[in-house]
Amino acid sequence: MLHQQLLLVVVLGTVISMHVAAVTYEVHAWYSGLSCDGTPYNVFVMESFTCQDAECIADPSTSSTNLGALNTICTTDYMKKIQELFGNSPYIVMEAFRDYDCIAFNYAMGYFASGNCEGSPGFSDFAIATLEDDGSASVFTYDAGLCPVDSLNSSFFADKEALEGHSCDYDGNRWYSSNNNKITTPAPTPALRASTSKGLSTAAAIGITSGVFILVIVLGVFIFCWRRRSSDTKSRQSPLQPTESIGSIQTPPFIPGAPHRHTTGLWDDDVIITKRIPRDKVRIQTRISQGAFGEVYTGMFNGRQVAVKMLLPSMRENLQLVNQFLGEAKMTAAMDHPNVVTFIGVAWDSLSDVCVVLEYMDGGDLRFLLSQYEAKHQPVGFNRQKATIALQVCHALAYLHSLIPPVVHRDLKSRNILLSRSMEAKLTDFGISKERLDTTLTAGVGTSLWMAPEVMLGEYYDDKADIFSFGVVLSELDVHTLPYTNARKGTRDPYGREVTDTALMQQVASGKVQVEFSKVGPPSITQLGYVCVAIDPSLRPSAAEILYRLQTILAHEL
């Protein structure tokens, strides 16, 4: 067998030495606007014998919407070209191969590692790519804009060693990132490139065609042998797949200070390991809320009342959701502010019973309080207590936005503002996890009602998206009702029905509909609310500016 494989290699080398030429790669770069300026949201690379440059044309796959621009570039060094395209922006590159030993190149994909939901070729797929502080990377792909978790396609993880060493992983991929951008296109699997010279003779064309035919046959046999050997090895190793159930995955028992074996999930992340607490010390009590993918219970840990967050039972066997749940826990663990709910720990005996233990807030959420105010016909307008709640929420936002890199909450709403019995407000459920775990309707309250227009439209956004949501929360604090309640009542479709959230938010994005404020209380808060919900993000104040204005109002007007 070894003799046959060596013979194959010799034959392959002979054919290649006769016919090989520099490989040309076709690089496609997609942009969300009508021009090819700025950072592409996706780059795709494949080998090509007939590549032709095409400078910034309308993306054919989005011609019906007139959105999206496509740049096509021919090159022999696609890694260098990817670096040029992304410039100083963070990115992740995945090289995919036809075999499990990373020999036969298939394609390469470059992701804009913004940590946000980005578009993709044709706007039919979307991705969240993130470069973590510990040097690792993750890529989640989705079927729908805004990346709701129920549209998740696949998830990939690469640790620091894989990104720096570019080793071949179990799925036959190699990984690169902007953290290590002094790289060039690896030596490719030799492939014959057809000449495009107009002076090519018939004899030469026949010779090249014959060479290609022979090369394809030899390559096919060679790859089959390698793939078969790799498949046998891989079946013995049984690595984790992105869509694999976690029922058979075993993690080591929790022993404080004990070393953990390497696995391919966030359960082996340093932050998660540091924050892991014994599962048998967490006692579950009464369920207090449930969403589309998770539920929250009251509980006890070390004699202290806590809130315990878990995935729904039907979701706990899904490895992708468990990883995303742990991703939310990791981000929460990094927060340290008096107006952000305190993270206590994460616990599990098996990955199907992972739970996150958080500070318990005994006053419920702000939406519940405002619904009570509405039912009891409490006076609308701002008083000192409401302004103080707004100030505390803004303190939390200013903290998140001051981090390096800034954390964009992306799902700020009254349900995610928790209260103590003494009316101290704290922010919960923030960051990238919102794109993954809680973007669907919960108890009839859609996240889209608080969403900034640029986020809804899939455009670039930053911390000013949170400021828009904060302006919507100010409106809730003022008039007690859900956002746009009166606008919804006054707007009907052609059949006399109330408009959907999507149709309503389209009117918000066009400036036809705004949140409402009462005429009770200081006009300065009303003015602040309206400037926060400006359609143009650049016109919205920063969290620090809002803090100053609220402190001034509390000191002199309330």
The Cα-based distances of 56 to 43, 52, 219 in angstroms read 13, 13, 36
Residue scoring higher pLDDT (181 or 537): 537
Q: Are 297 and 287 in contact (CB under 8 A)?
A: yes
Strands (E), 188-335: 282-290, 294-301, 304-311
pLDDT tens per residue, range 76-114: 999 999 999 999 889 999 998 877 778 888 889 899 998
Residue 105, Cα to own-chain centre: how many angstroms? 27
Residue with structure tokens 């939901």?
Answer: 117
The DSSP output letter for 458 is T
Please give the positions annotated as active site: 411
Does domain 366-556 fall under CATH 1.10.510.10? My reply is: yes
Q: Report the pLDDT value the prediction gives residue 67, as an integer from 0 to 100.
A: 47
Spatial neighbors of 181 by CB under 8 A, at least 6 apart, are 83
Cis peptide upstream of residue 522 (ω within 30 degrees of 0): no
Report, as an integer, the average pLDDT of 265-293: 84
Write the Ramachandran bin of 303: left for phi over 0, alpha for psi from -120 to 50, otherwise beta. left
Section 340-356 average pLDDT? 90
Compute the average pLDDT of residues 156-168. Answer: 84
Ranges of CATH 1.10.510.10 domains, the chain: 366-556
Model-level pTM?
0.55
First to last CA, the chain: 87
**Location of each CATH 3.30.200.20 domain in the chain:** 266-359
Give the model confidence (pLDDT) of 445-455 as tens digits. 334 789 899 88
CA pair distance 139, 127, nearest whole angstrom:
7
Residue 352 half-sphere exposure, CB side, CA atoms within 13 Å?
10
CATH number attached to the domain at 266-359:
3.30.200.20
Close Cβ partners of 360 (under 8 Å, ≥ 6 residues apart): 298, 305, 306, 307
Q: Are 341 and 428 in contact (CB under 8 A)?
A: yes
